[in-house]
Amino acid sequence: MYIGKTRVPLNVLLLSIVTCGIYGLFWYYTCATDINGITGQERVNPILFILSHFIPFLPLVFVHKIDQTFIEIGQREGTRYESKFVLWLVLYLVGIGYLVFMYQSQDELNKVWQIRSGGVNRG
């Protein structure tokens, strides 16, 4: 059973800002890798996800796929997850969607790690 590294969502944001997005690219890679590890199949290609960030709006395709995968993971792992894609899309248009996406996605991954390591957080 795949268990990734627990990260503090606020630290993910701060490191991304402080490093001018370099840590963010690393995090996108690890997020995609973690999602693939949880599902047991390649849902999101980590390299393509990173490269997509250099073409406006293309990352939203990957973000949507991740959101849909979180719904499936939530059903499988017993966590409560409701789609956040519309929120991320609207916030993307005002320039902060990726920050909110990163925070909420890392928080969701942490919930999965907690459940898989014997924790009880199911919501």
Decide if 73 is inside a domain. yes
Q: Is the pLDDT of residue 121 over 60?
A: no
- Which one-letter amino acid corresponds to residue 99? L
- Domains identified in the chain, total number: 1
Decide if 2 is inside a domain. no
Convert the pLDDT of each residue in 93-119 to its tens digit. 999 999 999 999 999 999 999 998 887
Q: Is the pLDDT of residue 80 over 60?
A: yes
Decide if 3 is inside a domain. no
Q: Is the pLDDT of residue 123 over 60?
A: no
Helices (H), 1-93: 9-18, 22-39, 46-52, 59-77, 85-93
Q: What's the full length of the chain, in residues?
A: 123
Q: In which domain, by residue range, is 110 found?
A: 9-116
| Phi, psi (deg, nearest 5) at residue 117 | -95, 10
pTM of this structure? 0.91
